[in-house]
A and B are shown apart, each in its own frame.
Chain A
Amino acid sequence: MPIKSAFTTSIDHVSILDAEARFDEKLGAGLIPDADLVKLYEHMCICRQLDEVAFKLQRSGRMGTFPQNMGQEATSMGAAYALEKTDWLVPCYRENAGLIWRGMPMEMILLHWMGDERGNAIPRELHCMPLAIPIGTQMLHATGLAWAAKYRGEKRLACTFFGDGATSEGDFHEAMNFAANLDIPVIFFCQNNFWAISVPGKIQCSAPTIAQRAVAYGMDTIQCDGNDIFAVVHCVRQAAKLAREKGRPFFIEAVTYRLGDHTTADDARRYREQAEVDSWKARDPIIRIRKFLTAKKLWDDAKEAALAERAEREVAAAVERAEGIAAPNRTDFFNHMYATIPPDLALQRDTAQTHGIGQDPSQIEGAVIELPAKSAH
């Protein structure tokens, strides 16, 4: 018997607006109306300003560790633009542009990184999950959220974001397998930015593309230029159509690059070449759109100057709101542990500031207690 092929496949790579601002009319015409593209561009610039200001806030001790988003704005924002507002966005932690496009107030993101949990009190109508710090675990939540939509007969999707490093985690594979086998309409959006802190992509995946991991799960997949918002929108729309019509999951590998360090606690110069970073700076998604808009006479220096002023003003106002918020109550962290606080925990809360050891005051009734003078802080 001759040996036959058991399976063959190929994976498409989509690019519509390249780094030289050459535009594929066939794929891109009408994909994003001019007016929307201008808004998306303005929004990306404002998010870039937020990114730079957040970095400075950390360096000057006004904020904790922050993961810069610089260079990856097109991915989450393109997805947020292409999806319905009722679809769930399930981020990791480098998706500010998409979340803010969806309606998340900038100051909430700042508050989160300032160590204030009130930054996570996301308004329900935004259909966004909080930033996920563990790697890859949120993909299962997205799968559950989309599963619930299917259960209720709603045409609602979930789109979850993660990096190349997350595709090594067990939960990535469990989420992909659940979604494919149980027909759950979830979009897996991998932002392949080449580095998981200092570990290069080739250690995460020895195959030429990450997208082909989806093939093993029987899932449709595509690769796109993640610094090209047109390509991102095209792929997410295609994924959303399949998900909505057939209830099937879809995997997108967006090839992009983290221009900054992993976080402000990292120094990427220790493990990557400046020449590599420079080559990706030339492919910056923001520069690309500006070139395109300028060529179409939709943008000019005067508009750019006005936008720079607006970005500075809006971000400064967000910082002011974040820094201006009243300090949280000292016992605030007790209050959201359970829907109804258990009596023992309530006792710990109520005595935390008086006795400091969470005991029932009746235990020390009658004892003479002299507390040392309160320290200055």
Chain B
Amino acid sequence: MANLTLVQAINLALIQEMERDDRVLILGEDVGPNGGVFRVTEGLHKRFGSKRVVDTPLAESGIIGTSIGLAIAGLRPIPEIQFEGFLGPAYDQICSHAARMRTRTRGAMTIPLTVRVPVGGGIHAPELHSDSPESIYIHQPGLKVVMPSSPYDAKGLLISAIRDPDPVMFFEPKRIYRAFREEVPEDEYTLPLGKARVVCEGDAMTVVSWGSSVVQCMQAIERSGRSIELIDLRTLYPFDMDAVEASVKKTGRCVIVHEAPKTCGFGAEIAARIMERCFLYLESPVQRVAGFDTIMPYYKLELDYMPDADRIARAIEETAAY
């Protein structure tokens, strides 16, 4: 076991998958000798060479579009989009092609593609470097969407994503890239896509979250002193509604926390599913603590935008008191 940050865990997963399978290659802007702007691919260019760790021209659609061709030809490309705000130019290739190729060709062609994208706020970055666009990609049929919240999960989920035969959007919450360390096995392991993690158990209330908000939830729960069950979804499509259902039926109360804007955020889907499946078990309305329906503000106000432990704690108290 090694005590690793999330960045180091992802780096280790990439190394191990590239060593194991020579179909795996990395492409993107600055991923080569520079090791990526967050140093996630540090050392890989030196280790595997410029054939397998490829600095491409500055062009997001080009990175995803060529990855689609590479994948159809049987390789396992891992394109990196430097920041989630630059997914826009790649959206057409992701949604018009990567997501649809399997069904369009009746299964004749598959796109085993893992798009790595740092997401979210909290690191004092410029405009378009702090957004949370996961709902857009969850809403697109044909994609899988993953967002880990810890180094251990990041490694296991990334290896699963690379080996998955379908296109995976792998969102990395940049706020916790180096925020803490965790014991991570040095050997390879996988975590199944579509399975949630019960971070802590409890019977008075369920909190559902993903990404860096999980860390904020843990702080709020610790402060509340209540018996609260925290579920980290880990994979957002497919998502583990069974885990949420089981927990809410046990606790009767639920707070959903995410950083993305509230309207049409993934919390709305979870809340609707709880209504479908757990209506008669609910003791209180399902609450959402989310980002606001505004553009993510420049960084002087970013912490006022993002759900923090105070807002989550208040939602917990209101829900408990209902």
Residues of A at under 8 Å CB distance from B? 117-118, 120-124, 129-130, 134, 137, 139-149, 151, 158, 170-171, 174-175, 177-178, 181-182, 333, 335-339, 342-345, 359-360, 363
**How far is it, in angstroms, between the C-alpha of A177 and the C-alpha of B65 when the chains are bound?**
13
Which chain B residues in 67-106 approach chain A with CB under 8 Å? 67-75, 77, 89, 92-93, 96-97, 102-106
* A121 and B241 contact, Cβ closer than 8 Å, known pairs A140-B62, A363-B276: no
Check if B61 is an interface residue, CB within 8 A of chain A.
yes
Q: Is there contact, CB below 8 Å, between B65 and A144?
A: yes
Q: Is there contact, CB below 8 Å, between A148 and B69?
A: yes
Which residues of B lie under 8 Å from residue A344 when comparing CB positions?
238-239, 241
Which residues of B lie under 8 Å from residue A345 when comparing CB positions?
238
Q: Is there contact, CB below 8 Å, between A337 and B142?
A: yes
* A339 and B65 contact, Cβ closer than 8 Å, known pairs A117-B104, A130-B105, A141-B72: no
Which residues of A lie under 8 Å from residue B108 when comparing CB positions?
120-124
**How far is it, in angstroms, between the C-alpha of A140 and the C-alpha of B107 when the chains are bound?**
21
Which residues of B lie under 8 Å from residue A337 when comparing CB positions?
102-103, 141-142
* A144 and B107 contact, Cβ closer than 8 Å, known pairs A174-B59, A182-B54, A345-B238: no
Q: Is there contact, CB below 8 Å, between A140 and B276?
A: no
Q: Is there contact, CB below 8 Å, between B194 and A342?
A: yes
Which chain B residues in 155-178 approach chain A with CB under 8 Å? 164-166
Check if B190 is an interface residue, CB within 8 A of chain A.
no
Nearest Cβ distance between residue A204 and chain B, in whole angstroms? 19
Q: Is there contact, CB below 8 Å, between B103 and A333?
A: yes
**How far is it, in angstroms, between the C-alpha of A142 and the C-alpha of B93 when the chains are bound?**
13
Which residues of A lie under 8 Å from residue B72 when comparing CB positions?
129, 141, 144-145, 148
Check if B316 is an interface residue, CB within 8 A of chain A.
no
Which of B54, B57, B96, B105 is A137 in contact with, Cβ under 8 Å?
A: B96
Q: Is there contact, CB below 8 Å, between A158 and B69?
A: yes
Nearest Cβ distance between residue A36 and chain B, in whole angstroms? 29
Which residues of A lie under 8 Å from residue B103 when comparing CB positions?
117, 333, 336-337
Q: Is there contact, CB below 8 Å, between B66 and A178?
A: yes
Nearest Cβ distance between residue A112 and chain B, in whole angstroms? 10
Q: Is there contact, CB below 8 Å, between B61 and A174?
A: yes
Residues 230-241 of chain B, each 1 if its beta carbon lies under 8 Å from chain A, else 0: 000000011101
Q: Is there contact, CB below 8 Å, between A359 and B104?
A: no
**How far is it, in angstroms, between the C-alpha of A148 and the C-alpha of B93 when the chains are bound?**
18
Q: Is there contact, CB below 8 Å, between B238 and A120?
A: no
Check if B51 is an interface residue, CB within 8 A of chain A.
yes
Q: Which 8 A-B pairs have the closest CB atoms?
A: A144-B69, A140-B65, A148-B73, A174-B62, A342-B238, A121-B106, A144-B66, A339-B165
| Chain A at the B interface: SS class | helix
| Chain B at the A interface: SS class | mixed
Which residues of A lie under 8 Å from residue B59 when comparing CB positions?
174, 177-178
**How far is it, in angstroms, between the C-alpha of A338 and the C-alpha of B92 when the chains are bound?**
19
Q: Is there contact, CB below 8 Å, between A137 and B56?
A: no
**How far is it, in angstroms, between the C-alpha of A326 and the C-alpha of B20 when the chains are bound?**
44
* A339 and B110 contact, Cβ closer than 8 Å, known pairs A117-B104, A171-B61: yes
Nearest Cβ distance between residue A165 and chain B, in whole angstroms? 16
Q: Is there contact, CB below 8 Å, between B277 and A360?
A: yes
Minimal Cβ-Cβ distance residue in A for B239: A344
**How far is it, in angstroms, between the C-alpha of A83 and the C-alpha of B288 when the chains are bound?**
59
* A148 and B70 contact, Cβ closer than 8 Å, known pairs A178-B59, A181-B57, A344-B241: yes
Which chain B residues in 30-49 approach chain A with CB under 8 Å? none
Which residues of A lie under 8 Å from residue B277 when comparing CB positions?
360, 363
**How far is it, in angstroms, between the C-alpha of A359 and the C-alpha of B59 when the chains are bound?**
42
Which of A146, A182, A338 is B166 in contact with, Cβ under 8 Å?
A: A338
Check if B274 is an interface residue, CB within 8 A of chain A.
no
27 contacts between A and B (CB under 8 A): A118-B106, A129-B109, A130-B104, A137-B65, A137-B96, A137-B97, A140-B93, A141-B72, A142-B69, A143-B62, A143-B66, A144-B68, A144-B69, A144-B71, A145-B73, A148-B69, A151-B25, A151-B75, A170-B89, A171-B61, A171-B93, A174-B61, A175-B62, A177-B62, A336-B106, A338-B102, A339-B164
